[in-house]
Chain A
Amino acid sequence: MLQKVLCIDDDPISVMLCKKVISRSVFAEKTDSANNGEDALRYLEDLIKTPGYVYPELILLDLNMPIMNGWEFLKNYEQRFASSHKNSKIVVLSSTIDPEDVRKTEEYSTVLTFISKPITTSSLQEVESLLESK
């Protein structure tokens, strides 16, 4: 079981669903959330300044968000956090069915996989097994 998951999504229902499915699946102890990319970056900046912080082992990232979308976040994240938190992985969670989007996520080394919304117990199991294999 993971210690912490960060869920970045502007849709509160989607966030709610994430938290419910994670807790039901007993996937992580704690699920934090951010409304968009910028919000998430700020959260992480703040977090790493906190003494004895627990860094999220998994980040669930929506792509279509206001202010800073998923792609912009990925770029910034890779520059600022990826190298110092190599154990942490990102899973893109989106309602897109465009294969182009799926292909694009593969360009980012920090992205573990892509899952289509809605998040389900079985999709989390898939993620879990991927994390274990790494």
Chain B
Amino acid sequence: MTSSIPNPSFIIINSIEEKNYDLLQYINYEFPLASVYSFDSISAYHKSKEIDENIEICFLFENCLDYSNADTCENILRISSQLEIVAIIKDINYENTQQLLDLGICQILVNDYLTSAQVKQSTFLCMARNSKHVNELSAEHKTQFFDILSKHYGDLVITVDRDLSFQSTNKNIVKKLGVTTTTLSKENLRLYVHPEDLWRLDTIAENLLDKDFISIKPLRIKTATGLYKSFDASFFKNPNNSFEYVLNLKDFVEQEYKEDFRRENNERFSAIAEATNSIIYEFYYESHLLFTSNDNGDYGLIEADNLAEHIEKYMDRLHPDDRERVIKNFSGFTDFPSKESTTIKYRLRSPNGRYKSILDRYRIFFQNGVALKRIGARIDITEVTAQNALIALENRVYEMNADPSCDFCDVISFFERRMEELIPNSKCMVLTEDGDGKIESVSQRDHNNYFVAEIASHSKGLNPLRDSNAQRGKISENPIWADTIEVTDAFGIKYFWTSPATNKNQETIANILLFFPDKIDSEEIEESLVQRITILVGTLIAKHQALTETKVAKERYELVAKATNDTIWDWNVSKDILSWSKGLYEIFGYSPEQVASSSTWWFSHVHPEDSIRVSIKLYRFLEQKVDKWQDEYRFECADGTYRHVLDRGFMEKEPDGTAIRMIGAMQDITQSKTEEERLKLLSAAITQANDAVIITETPRISYDIPKIVYVNPAFSKMTGYLYEEVVGKSPSIFIGKNAMVEQQTILSKATEFNKEFIFEAINHRKNGDEYWARFSMIPVSDNRGEHSHWISIQSDISEQKEQEKEKEHLIQELTRHNNDLKQFSYITSHNLRAPLSNLIGLLNLVEDIVIEDEDLKEIIDGFSKSTHLLNQTVNDLIKIVIIKDNLSIEKEFINIQNIIQNILDQLAYTISQYSPIITINTENAPILLVNKPYIESIILNLLTNSLRYSSPDRILKIDITSSIIGKEIILIFKDNGIGIDLVRNADKLFGLYQRFHDYPDSKGLGLYLVKSQVLSMGGSISVESELGEGSSFLLTFKN
């Protein structure tokens, strides 16, 4: 049985606790939702403040009363102003209980409990609170209930007690029966029912024991006019009062047309209810009671026995975040009456503990300007809300992902956090694998990273989720987590839910993993949510990977383009758009504005001689539909020169073979081309050379014998060995053994220092003949700078050796001769000089002696002259010998003017005999770097010559001039003497013992000596002369 009083509170004040037992049991049975508070004294009750608000009924046992106190019970029990003592019952008996019943409270309590034998024996006082309120509530509720019943089900509703006495009716009674409620009061239904139908009433009580209702059709009831009216009647128990029956009467006359309307209405109602998934409720502002229909099926929103509840209980089930707002909404009935319905959304906890999103559409009904009730329809919009949340999440995630400034990790971590909000108690992770197949958290959230690291360390680097299907379950029962159970335990997770995200090729690229500390009570909505977000994550990650790959590819391309020296070109064949990499500017010197973006520009810069060949080949390639193209041609640079290029292209094509795009790399091979040309020449030089060329490979191990890798034809000619006979062999086959041993030290040293060197050795021809060869050994290094080969150029020097031998012999011979001669000339000169000086000394003595005899005087005079001439000749000869022998002479800076003046002084006597006009001009070059005795001798000789060979026909003029020409100093001696016949004597002018004039004291040594001295000082001498005109000697010195 249910009570019309929702969740009442009871207070029991009793000093003997055992006596409460029965009462408590009864209350618990009848009012399962009631709160019961027990106290052992009134003072204990007073101390407890918290319960004041909810007290409905208080049972006060007599044993708690202090009768010694003069206060009345009323005073003692006045616990709070809100309480009103409605009855004090002593020694409960039937009358007492009836008294309470009359007050309209606790019918059940009074009827069933207070009248029981046990209770009667214990004396207690009973007190009710707010009895008036309860009364009113009860009455109002009844009226409204009838309203609903009549509105939807019947024309006339009557309640009767078990004796079928009228209790109450709705207002239709006047209309239907023509009597008022008052008239019927206290009367019995039986008096109004047609006698033929009375028997049906007898079975009511019996039938209602096991049925919800009984139907009597028709039931004729007497109207005020005395006529009977047929009704379609149904009896059922009054849900509010088990002692009453509700009689629902439908006018049989109106039945026919009402039937359709009702059915229609019913259908419409249920259709609407079904369509909207609505749950209809009514809320009464005065009583705070909430009545809920669950006609439209159980949506898990309400418990079956909770169709009526106190609004505050309802509010308890609201989501904490919504509670305040909804409470306000439910109490906010001061709104102006409105025909429009209003809506509010909130979350409500369903019996399974999960929150449902509710859309509450309601209207408030007013009575006399006061809000009476609120009728509303609650729609479960959990799924819609979840969908909306999901859509919002998707939108936000896509939005974030599209924002280049938003890190992908942040996108995923936002996603994960939202998922954790959408699925309560969950931990969300999006996991993928790194390049090594190691599990990795995409979001990089600390918690996830930590978890993943732990998982990885326990799963031997394997990704436990690899190849896992979408599944969920208990971690301890799933093989996936077998190795990592310690980790999941440590993280306090017991259940998991994983869903693999795939790319468009259905390859798993990530796993969405949800963890729960407790069981998963997932709902359909979450299933589909997970499915959808899996697709979302799959798309995101695939896109991200593609982006990353593109980025990497782009970077790689740029790197390659940077690293390569090639010029990369990209030709959109169909649109004829050609773009070039930087190489075009860097290698070929173009600036971007010089380059047109079409293939025409390209072809126009191919060398005219290559152009036709290249285009034919290229177009043939385009037509042949092969993948690769390659050509060598000359390409014009910005400065008009051409560079050799090797151009390679790859074609991208449509399935039908039509070219879409060509990408090529143009490699500058000018250098290698030039190198090739050069190598051709070099190779020709080697093959055509007369010298033998041998190239040997330096062994990697120093004591290994080098191998011949090449010999030229000259080698074969020289040695008789053919190319094939020596290649791959050691040079020792033709180099003499002795020479090898001798040269080994040099060779190893040279190898060590990588230096060129030359050696000569006796070699053997194939026929055994020996010959002398000179080897020029040139070391060659490889790319790394390490010695790799020797090039040796070998020339046959046998003949040269012979000649050298002869020459050496000759030189030795000559040197010996020369030394002999030198010795001879020294000795001779000295041996001549000594007696000569004696002779002169003797003649000097004779000069002091007066000789009377004329003959003797003449003889001695001749003797003296000859002796002096001999002395001069010998002196000149000795001087020449000295100059020839002494090649290195000391030079000093001298003043020409001074030297000339000294000579003039020495020759003063001779000069006086000729009275010449001597002009000296050395101002332009006053200083000479020469050997002083030599220059004195030269000037003396030249002056003496001028004087000696002066013309008798004219006054002798001598001009001595010095001048600088470049780095040389020119000294000119010019006279107007008799001159020399150069035509006849040019070749022997400066020769030894050459005399050009028939003069008695000419020895033919002077000019020879002059030339010898000039040459020994590094100068030169030349002469211009004409017979009878004079001579001009030109001496050149280097300063």
Q: Are B844 and A14 in contact (CB under 8 A)?
A: no
Q: Is A76 an interface residue (CB 8 A)?
A: no
Give the chain B neighbours of A98 by CB distance below 8 A: 878, 882
Q: Which parts of A1-37 form the interface with B (CB within 8 Å)?
A: 11, 13-14, 17, 20-21, 24
Bound complex: CA A78 to CA B879 (Å) = 31
Find the B residue at minimum CB distance from A11: B834
**Interface code B827-838, partner A: CB below 8 Å = 1, 0 otherwise?**
000100111111
Q: Which parts of A21-60 form the interface with B (CB within 8 Å)?
A: 21, 24
Q: Is B933 an interface residue (CB 8 A)?
A: yes
Interface residue from A14, A21, A120 paired with B834 (Cβ < 8 Å): A14
Q: Are A117 and B834 in contact (CB under 8 A)?
A: yes
**Interface code A70-103, partner B: CB below 8 Å = 1, 0 otherwise?**
0000000000000000000000000111111000
Q: Indicate whether A11 sits within 8 Å of B838 (C-beta atoms), given known contacts A97-B879, A120-B844.
A: yes
* Closest-CB distance, A8 to chain B (whole angstroms): 14
Give the chain B neighbours of A116 by CB distance below 8 A: 837
Q: Indicate whether A14 sits within 8 Å of B848 (C-beta atoms), given known contacts A64-B830, A97-B833, A99-B933.
A: no
Interface residue from B837, B879, B886, B933 paired with A118 (Cβ < 8 Å): B837
Query: Residues of A within 8 Å of B, CB-based: how many?
Result: 19
Bound complex: CA A117 to CA B836 (Å) = 9
Q: Is B842 an interface residue (CB 8 A)?
A: yes
Bound complex: CA A39 to CA B833 (Å) = 24
**Interface code B867-908, partner A: CB below 8 Å = 1, 0 otherwise?**
000000001001100100010000000000000000000000
**Interface code B847-882, partner A: CB below 8 Å = 1, 0 otherwise?**
010000000000000000000000000010011001
Q: Are A96 and B833 in contact (CB under 8 A)?
A: yes
Q: Are B844 and A118 in contact (CB under 8 A)?
A: yes
* Closest-CB distance, A70 to chain B (whole angstroms): 12
Give the chain B neighbours of A117 by CB distance below 8 A: 833-834, 837-838, 840-841
Bound complex: CA A116 to CA B834 (Å) = 10
Q: Are B842 and A13 in contact (CB under 8 A)?
A: yes
Q: Indicate whether A95 sits within 8 Å of B882 (C-beta atoms), given known contacts A118-B840, A118-B844, A120-B841.
A: no
Bound complex: CA A100 to CA B886 (Å) = 10
Q: Is B845 an interface residue (CB 8 A)?
A: yes
Find the A residue at minimum CB distance from B879: A97
Q: Indicate whether A95 sits within 8 Å of B842 (C-beta atoms), given known contacts A24-B848, A100-B886.
A: no
* Closest-CB distance, A7 to chain B (whole angstroms): 13
Give the chain A neighbours of B835 by CB distance below 8 A: 13
* Closest-CB distance, B31 to chain A (whole angstroms): 153
Find the B residue at minimum CB distance from A13: B838
Give the chain A neighbours of B845 by CB distance below 8 A: 17, 20-21
Interface residue from B837, B844, B886, B933 paired with A95 (Cβ < 8 Å): B837
Give the chain A neighbours of B878 by CB distance below 8 A: 97-98
Bound complex: CA A17 to CA B835 (Å) = 12
Q: Which parts of B269-308 form the interface with A (CB within 8 Å)?
A: none
* Closest-CB distance, A100 to chain B (whole angstroms): 7
**Interface code B575-607, partner A: CB below 8 Å = 1, 0 otherwise?**
000000000000000000000000000000000
Give the chain B neighbours of A119 by CB distance below 8 A: 841
Give the chain A neighbours of B841 by CB distance below 8 A: 13-14, 17, 21, 117-120
Q: Indicate whether A95 sits within 8 Å of B833 (C-beta atoms), given known contacts A11-B838, A119-B841.
A: yes
Give the chain A neighbours of B933 by CB distance below 8 A: 99
Q: Are A118 and B838 in contact (CB under 8 A)?
A: yes
Q: Which parts of B910-942 form the interface with A (CB within 8 Å)?
A: 933
Bound complex: CA A116 to CA B835 (Å) = 13
Give the chain B neighbours of A11 by CB distance below 8 A: 834, 838
Find the B residue at minimum CB distance from A99: B933
* Closest-CB distance, B826 to chain A (whole angstroms): 9
**Interface code A92-134, partner B: CB below 8 Å = 1, 0 otherwise?**
0001111110000000000000001111100000000000000
* Closest-CB distance, B28 to chain A (whole angstroms): 152
* Closest-CB distance, B872 to chain A (whole angstroms): 11
Find the B residue at minimum CB distance from A64: B830
Q: Are B833 and A14 in contact (CB under 8 A)?
A: no
* Closest-CB distance, A105 to chain B (whole angstroms): 16
Give the chain A neighbours of B836 by CB distance below 8 A: 95
Find the A residue at minimum CB distance from B837: A117
* Closest-CB distance, A103 to chain B (whole angstroms): 9
* Closest-CB distance, B887 to chain A (whole angstroms): 13
* Closest-CB distance, A65 to chain B (whole angstroms): 11
Give the chain B neighbours of A17 by CB distance below 8 A: 838, 841-842, 845
Bound complex: CA A116 to CA B844 (Å) = 14
Bound complex: CA A10 to CA B848 (Å) = 26
* Closest-CB distance, B263 to chain A (whole angstroms): 161
Find the A residue at minimum CB distance from B836: A95
Q: Which parts of B755-792 form the interface with A (CB within 8 Å)?
A: none
Find the A residue at minimum CB distance from B830: A64
Find the A residue at minimum CB distance from B827: A64
Find the B residue at minimum CB distance from A20: B845
Bound complex: CA A117 to CA B838 (Å) = 7
**Interface code B789-812, partner A: CB below 8 Å = 1, 0 otherwise?**
000000000000000000000000
Bound complex: CA A24 to CA B849 (Å) = 12
Give the chain B neighbours of A97 by CB distance below 8 A: 833, 875, 878-879, 882
Give the chain B neighbours of A99 by CB distance below 8 A: 882, 933
Give the chain B neighbours of A96 by CB distance below 8 A: 830, 833
* Closest-CB distance, A34 to chain B (whole angstroms): 17
Give the chain A neighbours of B879 by CB distance below 8 A: 97
Bound complex: CA A104 to CA B1039 (Å) = 28
Most chain-B CB neighbours within 10 Å: which of A24, A100, A118? A118
* Closest-CB distance, A71 to chain B (whole angstroms): 14
Bound complex: CA A95 to CA B838 (Å) = 9
* Closest-CB distance, A79 to chain B (whole angstroms): 27
Give the chain A neighbours of B842 by CB distance below 8 A: 13, 17, 118
Give the chain B neighbours of A21 by CB distance below 8 A: 841, 844-845
Most chain-B CB neighbours within 10 Å: which of A20, A21, A24, A97? A97
* Closest-CB distance, A108 to chain B (whole angstroms): 20
* Closest-CB distance, B426 to chain A (whole angstroms): 117
* Closest-CB distance, B782 to chain A (whole angstroms): 60
Bound complex: CA A119 to CA B840 (Å) = 9
* Closest-CB distance, A83 to chain B (whole angstroms): 32
Bound complex: CA A95 to CA B882 (Å) = 15
Give the chain A neighbours of B838 by CB distance below 8 A: 11, 13-14, 17, 117-118
A-B contact pairs, 22 of them (CB 8 A): A11-B834, A13-B841, A13-B842, A14-B838, A17-B841, A17-B845, A21-B844, A21-B845, A95-B830, A95-B834, A95-B837, A96-B830, A97-B833, A97-B875, A97-B879, A97-B882, A98-B882, A117-B837, A117-B838, A118-B841, A118-B842, A120-B841
Interface set of A (CB-CB < 8 Å, partner B): 11, 13-14, 17, 20-21, 24, 64, 95-100, 116-120
In order of increasing CB-CB distance, the 7 nearest A-B pairs are A118-B841, A117-B837, A95-B833, A17-B841, A95-B837, A118-B837, A13-B838
- Give 15 new A-B contacts, CB below 8 A, not counting A98-B878, A118-B844, A120-B841: A13-B835, A13-B842, A14-B837, A17-B841, A17-B842, A95-B836, A96-B830, A96-B833, A97-B833, A99-B882, A100-B882, A117-B838, A118-B837, A119-B841, A120-B844
